[in-house]
Structure formats: structure tokens, C-alpha cells
Amino acid sequence: MAWETTKDNKMKEIIGDDYPTYEESVNLTLAEKLNKKLTEKKSFIEDMNTDTYLTEVEQQITKENMERLMKENFELRHRLSCIADDIEIVDRHIQNNCNKKFKQPSLNKDGSTYADEAWHNVTNIQIACDLNDDEPMEWGSKVKHEAELDNLNRDL
């Protein structure tokens, strides 16, 4: 036994006190590997949490956008319905009180003829308010003209 103590002391003298023993070295290596795996798992979990968070945020934004679009769609349909109701009243009033005037042409600002009869302007409003009628999509408008210009600018 005394020889073993001497042997250990001689090994410490040769190796030095600052260096870890083989067993300590193995334990440190194992600890580093474990720490690396834990760090990788933590990073993976953080990435998963980030992905989950981003997915949840994206879903919330999509939901909010859909709600906003549904509300806007309802409001536009409501407004068009109100216009359609009023134009029926105006139509009836014109027929009963000034029918002859509306059989005359309607004019543009520059005095050129817009429609052969002013009645066409009233019926155009009624057709435009009917969201089931696709005919207005063929007509010109300021909005359609601006959209066409935007599309041209994007192509440039």
C-alpha cells in the first residue's frame, strides 16, 4: 500500500498538480458533451417556441384581417343597399313628376352627350348597386382607371 501512495505521488510529480487525472478528464469530456446536448436541446426548444409564436401571431393577424374585410364587405353592401332603396324613390319621383325631362340626353361637363336619355343614368345606378350583376365590371370609372395605372407602373 505504501508503494501505491508513492506511485501516486510520483505520477503527480511527473504530471503536475495542475493537470486533471484521466478519470477527471473523462468526466469533464462527458460533462461537456452533456452540456452541448442540453444547449442544443434548449436551442431547438427556443426555435420551436419562436416558430410556434410566429405561427400564432400570423394566425392572429390573418383572423384580424378577415374580420376587418368581412366588416368592410358588410358595410359596403349595406351602403349599396341604401343607395338602391333611395334610387327607387328617385326613379318613382321622376316618372311621376318630370318624365319628359329624363327622356332627353344627359350631358358631360363639356356639353357632349353622355347617354341618349337621362333615364340611363338612373338605371346605371340601379345596375351598379346590384352586386349580383357583373355588367358594371365592364364600365369605366376613376377607380378602375387608377387601378390600371397602378398595374402599368408595377410592370415598369
Assess whether 65 and 112 both reside in one domain.
no
Distance (Å, rounded) from C-alpha 139 to C-alpha 133?
Answer: 12
pLDDT of residue 24: 75
Domain that holds residue 147: 98-156
Inside any domain, residue 117: yes
Q: Which residues, listed in sequence order, are joined to residue 8 by a DSSP beta bridge?
A: none
Same-domain check for residues 67 and 106: no
Look at the chain and report how many structural domains it folds into. 2
**Which value, to the nearest 10 degrees, does the dihedral of the CA atoms of residues 114, 115, 119, 122 take?**
-50
pLDDT tens readout for residues 73-124: 999 999 999 999 999 999 999 989 998 999 999 999 999 999 999 999 999 9
Classify residue 103: in a domain, yes or no: yes
Q: Judge whether 57 lies within some domain.
A: yes
Do residues 106 and 139 both lie within one domain?
yes
pLDDT at 116: 94
Indicate whether 125 and 72 sit together in one domain.
Answer: no
In a domain, 12, yes or no: no
Indicate whether 102 belongs to any domain.
yes
**135: Cβ–Cβ under 8 A, 6 or more apart, which residues?**
127
